[in-house]
Chain A
């Protein structure tokens, strides 16, 4: 590994300072930088993933507060992480994962808002499911959970696990996928019926592509072809919990947890089993969700508590986005996924009582980062106490 050449920054500013590892052109980075500046601090030092990968790492000053952001949506970075796969190809996620976790280990120093070991778990759905299940967080049943989970080498293994675990309806997810990339919602019924709903498209040559359109396959050999192509990268299987609905659309929640507290939440609704917004999902009505939970005899704070419990499995990570799945009838909830980079909800302010009522997800994280003991210790004496201009 070559020596990182990113110069250690020298700044006349003596208060807290931030750095962010990300793709500089990405709005995640600019939204975070805006939040830092809005807190009266100099903008963060932006360390490009591209440079980290090309130069074999990056170093941070002992007092730099370091945020790691998504390496996504940049084809060059994607190529560097995966080795030369086409960006829309679904396959190659194992290589991406290996590249990403290795890159995390090349970041040195700084006050870190993310833990490389936890990120490695968060980007492995099998490991993440295992951690959550052991912490008694409600998760959909899975035969591939944790280190003792079943390996899935292809469609035949999926079929066997469906039978053995009585899971006629399930999600098949690439272990290292993000968004709905490569996810199949599979249902089987009497008389050999089977159907998969997915954004994966089989190109004429047989190659798989992610598309922005959800499609259905009802021939088993098509489904098997998709699954067999995805399996070498690792697959996670999960029972499909029938989701509650809002105005005729299946609904789930994305809840952002910052420093242990559920601060922001949105409802996502869809006419398909995949609720991701880029697949035609849309935002639902949060107040109506609260009403539905109460009408079903539940308590809204209990839902947030489940999200906070999920987040507490990752104590070294300042912020996670929890996908909360309310089961049909709004009587039960399950945690679908915990996302490391699940905070891209521009302009959304915090929940009442969350302490982030006037802050977006980025401002909430900046405020929380400045509250951490490590960051607080960085404040020189004259900067403590009441802030001044």
Chain B
């Protein structure tokens, strides 16, 4: 009986040990002790420092090279050089392992090698199965030491980079963070340098080779190795593989100062294809080396630490104004960070969300953080510290990052101690000292029509122009002979017009357009009015009749009963072509300046070249016998290609119509490739 009772009791006890509890009734056991990974450090004669950590959980090895270099070092007129160097190192293959061979070798073994150069550091890494280590280590070293930089891969990377330049205004978040950085740091600092078509064009293979040779030397390198290996054996292999690298000179990374005088500005990027405003509000931030760093980090915790932060609690949970709301007083190691609060909210609540965020910023200055809120903020930080070291890889990475940034090895422990001591008063003091909610810059990327006048109350709204700059034509502007030019233009005009003065004509014909699917014939019926400088073109396309109208400086397109205005970027090139039409130039010859710029040999004869400039520029190559244009040439920027395109039109089959001459056959080419052929059936004067 007694035994049964005891058994019963023990059941009761164990049951109560596992009774359901509310979160505040649970007693937590001590956290299991665990040993942080040991890091073995050694340095070679050429300056490379290695950090090794054994991790035998899986049969893998990873090697990570950190290199002291960065986009910070590239000249402004060659922006993009660092990043291009970093990618072509890998994409172009090495001297001993050309790209195709390298790719197959690695992918056959499911091994990865990558290289990069970022803003303030560069590097290379390799990730492989341990059984392939001996074979692939020399390959990795060759990629680092002897990249081949073949011209065709440089060209490929440039094409790809240009394509991403063309796409850089597609995403509202990336526009917002890019433009906000420009507002804070200014346009002319390395912190905001932007790769453009022109800066890419200026980069040569020589530049890449030099940039690489300066950067990837022993004295700039730290290498972390982690995985399933034996340390002493690994040391020997690394010494052998990396020992031959040049020591070189350690790169000095100089971060220029920033002048910031806390302006208050309001800025808008109009993006008509969005329904939501992406907003950043803020000013300059601080440096990591600051006795108030710990207090500022706790301020960040209170303001914006996920769902526990005040911004999320108010703007998202209480007000339902946003899915994403964020903020941070950021402190960088080498140059000042940025203080910002930001939100993505529907156009109609743009100002409401900005105000709600600013209220939270001011509250940090006006009221001390409550005891419980401060304790919770510290607990969040301290209790999650274990995740900082929960893998050997994180420990290794932190060690290398500290070394790279010149931070003492105990810097993080010191920070934890500082953080524990921060008081409510400290947070309020740093909020007052470092945050200036009255002197912020506001940036909104959104739909201006939907936003309306909401931003006016913050000040005069600057419209930020994010148009992507087009490169210069690249042609040397040689001043031609104006006197000879004038005489040639007179001759051309007389040859074309005779005694006629056609103000408005109708041209019917067929355009045979070259497309990837073969030639497509389009019947056209165009009315040109040179007096009014307007035109209407009817085109019989396979999709139906399409009407294009250019008038009063704008244009529209009609198709299947639908009418659509054309953006200026589309009508611009059309007007340019209309302006430089040989009839228009001949009729209005006094409105153009003309230069004779040389001759071109065609069929053994010298054809004079006439450059005509109005709002646009065109060159005509004239037949020396008739003074009719044999061809015209113009160069314009093609936003789709991200480059200037040279258009050439060849004229032939000149026929007389009502006293003037018209070319009944025209062949158009772009960059040397035929794009269309036009055969005119009839021309009549209206």
Q: Do A and B bind each other?
A: no
State the B residues within 8 Å of A (CB). Answer: none
